[in-house]
Amino acid sequence: MPITRRHFDALIIGAGGAGLNAALRLATADARVAVVSKVFPTRSHTVAAQGGVNAALANVLPDNWHWHMFDTVKGSDYLGDQDAIEYMCREAIPTVYELEHAGVPFSRIDNGKIYQRAFGGQSQNFGGPQAARTCAAADRTGHAILHTLYQQNIRARTHFFDEYFAVDLIRDQEGAVVGALVMEIESGEPLLIESKTTLLATGGCGQVFRTTSNAHINTGDGMAMALRIGVPLMDMEFYQFHPTGIAGKGMLITEGVRGEGGYLVNKEGERFMERYAPNAKDLASRDVVARAIVTEVKEGRGCGPQRDHVMLKLDHLGEEVIAKRLPGIRESARIFAGVDPVEEPIPVFPTAHYVMGGIPTDRFGRVVSPVGSGPEEVVPGLYAAGECACVSVHGANRLGGNSLLDILVFGRAAGIDIMDYLRENRHHRPMDETAVEKAVARLTRWEKKGEGISVRELRDEFRKSMEDHAGVFRTEEVMTEGVDRLKAIRAKLADVRLKDQSAVFNTARVEALELENLIDVGMSIALSALARKESRGAHSRPDYPKRDDQSWLKHSLYTQEGDRMDYKPVRSKPLTVETFPPKERVY
Ligand SMILES: Cc1cc2nc3c(=O)[nH]c(=O)nc-3n(C[C@H](O)[C@H](O)[C@H](O)COP(=O)(O)OP(=O)(O)OC[C@H]3O[C@@H](n4cnc5c(N)ncnc54)[C@H](O)[C@@H]3O)c2cc1C
């Protein structure tokens, strides 16, 4: 049966902050834009962002974008590209005002200006006293932003395909991307969207780990789609573990709690961060705090009967501050940890949170990829933005509040560049029917049920392996064993057994497609991590404890074919200011 086809100027896969900000740009410029999302748009993970978005507005303490840029470069452990970082930190200021004017209900200070809280890794004057740079709507900032962007898109008549699952990109013989095959989840019907440009905005991949702050939908689909058309993934070894997930559960307790004055204690009641980061203490960078917590637990100073977590204390802040600034946190702590933070501390342990790596792009959102073994080139018609992309502004470690910023700034930049591309490329390229057949085959493959292990069991086995072998501390031995396990898991996938009830058949098929994506992305993390023989940012190797700029100040690129690793230089030259040269990173 022939597949239904639809035509658009721009196809956006993903309706989080990145996808919706790009769509808004395009729809208001009268482009025909389609947004595909596997969940209803306002259920995208952006909705869960709590703490806020960074911009040097200087509403609460002195600030400017140069300091923000310095902190971001330092936070990245010097692996971030400084042209993109400069662009992001400068654009932060108009971006936040634009959101304010679009209707985001930010919290306010007494003079009516936007409220800003302190977050980890923020400083005044290039490494001096703590700054307050994170613009917040209580502890529900992502919710406020996503709903506003969605409403603005409805007004601009963006075309939404809600609850459609993107299966694969279609790339023609010349290497251009000409659209994607998607599936309506309810009916299981395939739909081919032919598009002059395609933007991947599919978010993160936290579900590769067993304990995570991410939603069930964060399965790295866009990254896996990029891998399958031959685009490598960049810097995938850099995965952020957020220090304060609810112990044993993984749900996030925002860094904003520490920004408001909360702090961590071990079983002796000691405020241990003073030993690890004498100046910044609990507001040191996330990688530093996560390692400190794991070390406290390993050395027997953890809390609880199993000694397997530490405590986050905020009862001294008082009920009024908690009710005004952290209402969502109080609710999460009550529901998931059974404690009221007004009275008692919250049990916490690091949780898988954010992927610094992703689909390599330039600062215009264009995907750049080596063609075969040749030099790097822009992939015509293909863009990526948001957590699935790697610009790279976060390098080896992302600062809190910089992801909402990244998705908004580069979502918009991609929208602007797509308009330029459309002006020069007015017609659809012919569809590549061979590529379409290949994508359809991937979909129909899951119509027959295998005889082997169930999707659920294989997924659990995979996520546990990732947690055990690619976690906060990584050694050669642990990682080598992890890669062997992943290869065995990958081999079992071909015969995996789908859930049997026919009523939920399409969701079972989606779960299988997601598992395949998870394993592809997990492999990129494990192999990139095994290859990098140094400790930098979130990638911490007790067997190579030092950062090694001589050999490793470079981005890694993982290509799926042959599980190959390549490397490329860091763009250390900013656009208008002086380079920040690598220094030892202390807080
Ligand atoms: C609990 C939590 C709190 C956070 N708090 C903060 C914070 O305070 N500040 C900050 O800066 N950052 C924060 N972050 C990080 C930040 O929220 C995310 O990195 C960011 O929102 C990602 O946005 P995105 O637009 O890239 O993707 P998402 O918002 O994750 O959206 C992805 C979209 O892609 C769609 N999609 C994915 N795969 C497919 C497919 N195969 N087919 C169709 N559609 C698909 C989904 O349906 C969804 O619409 C937080 C993250 C978490 C998990």
| Closest atom, ligand 1, to C-alpha of 167 | 41
Same domain, 444 and 553: yes
Domain assignment present for 143: no
Domain assignment present for 460: yes
Closest CA relative to residue 463, chosen from 209, 158, 94? 209
Domain assignment present for 290: yes
Same domain, 347 and 455: no
Same domain, 341 and 444: no
The predicted pLDDT at position 581 comes to: 96
286 is catalytic: yes
Domain assignment present for 517: yes
Is there a contact between 512 and 454 (Cβ–Cβ < 8 Å)? Answer: no
Q: Is the pLDDT of residue 440 over 90?
A: yes
| 226 close to ligand 1 (CB < 6 Angstrom) | no
| 214 close to ligand 1 (CB < 6 Angstrom) | yes
Domain assignment present for 389: no
Q: How many CB atoms lie within 10 A of CB 448?
A: 7
Same domain, 457 and 557: yes
Instruction: Pick the last residue of a domain from 288, 318, 351.
Output: 351
The predicted pLDDT at position 447 comes to: 76
| 193 close to ligand 1 (CB < 6 Angstrom) | no
State whether residue 567 is helix, strand or coil. Answer: strand
**Dist. CA 373–CA 395, nearest whole Å:** 24
Which residue's CA is minimally distant from atom 44 of ligand 1? 37
Is there a contact between 84 and 392 (Cβ–Cβ < 8 Å)? Answer: yes
Enumerate the β-bridge partners of residue 162.
37
Instruction: Pick the last residue of a domain from 286, 321, 351.
Output: 351
Q: Which amino acid is at 189?
A: E
Give the phi and the psi of residue 38 in degrees, each rounded to 5: -80, -15
Mutation choice for ligand 1 from 168, 403, 446, 510, CB with most ligand atoms inside 8 A: 403
The predicted pLDDT at position 446 comes to: 81
Domain assignment present for 365: no
Alpha-helical runs (H) found in 341-432:
402-424
**In CATH, what number is assigned to the domain containing residue 549?**
1.20.58.100
**Dist. CA 127–CA 145, nearest whole Å:** 30
Question: What's the 45 CA to ligand 1 centre distance in angstroms?
Answer: 4
**Dist. CA 371–CA 360, nearest whole Å:** 13
Question: What's the 239 CA to ligand 1 centre distance in angstroms?
Answer: 15
**Dist. CA 50–CA 263, nearest whole Å:** 18
**Dist. CA 272–CA 521, nearest whole Å:** 35
Dump pLDDT digits (tens) for 284-325.
999 999 999 999 999 999 999 999 999 999 999 999 999 999
Question: What's the 301 CA to ligand 1 centre distance in angstroms?
Answer: 34
Instruction: Pick the last residue of a domain from 351, 384, 403.
Output: 351
With tokens 């400790």, the residue in question is 535
Same domain, 445 and 560: yes
Is there a contact between 193 and 37 (Cβ–Cβ < 8 Å)? Answer: no
Is there a contact between 18 and 141 (Cβ–Cβ < 8 Å)? Answer: no
- Residue 508: pLDDT band (50, 70, 90) is confident
In this prediction the pTM is 0.96
Domain assignment present for 383: no
**Dist. CA 69–CA 88, nearest whole Å:** 8
**Dist. CA 104–CA 81, nearest whole Å:** 30
**In CATH, what number is assigned to the domain containing residue 258?**
3.90.700.10
Same domain, 451 and 562: yes
The predicted pLDDT at position 78 comes to: 98
**Domain tally, the chain:** 2
Give the phi and the psi of residue 456 in degrees, each rounded to 5: -60, -50
Closest CA relative to residue 386, chosen from 56, 7, 28, 35? 35
| Closest atom, ligand 1, to C-alpha of 20 | 25
Same domain, 347 and 460: no
Give the E-state strand segments of 490-562 in sequence order.
554-559
Name the active-site residue from 133, 210, 286, 509: 286
| Closest atom, ligand 1, to C-alpha of 225 | 41
Q: Is the pLDDT of residue 504 over 70?
A: no
The predicted pLDDT at position 345 comes to: 97
Q: How many CB atoms lie within 10 A of CB 426?
A: 8
Range of the domain at 255: 246-351
Domain assignment present for 272: yes
Tokens of 155: 């007004």
Tell me how far CA of residue 366 lies from CA of 94, 286, 370, 375, 383, in angstroms.
Answer: 22, 29, 13, 16, 5
Dump pLDDT digits (tens) for 102-158.
999 999 999 999 999 999 999 999 999 999 999 999 999 999 999 999 999 999 999
- Residue 480: pLDDT band (50, 70, 90) is very high
Dump pLDDT digits (tens) for 196-215.
999 999 999 999 999 999 99
**Dist. CA 587–CA 582, nearest whole Å:** 15
Tell me how far CA of residue 226 lies from CA of 56, 517, 521, in angstroms.
Answer: 34, 10, 10
Q: What percent of the chain has pLDDT over 90?
A: 93
| Closest atom, ligand 1, to C-alpha of 389 | 26
The predicted pLDDT at position 497 comes to: 85
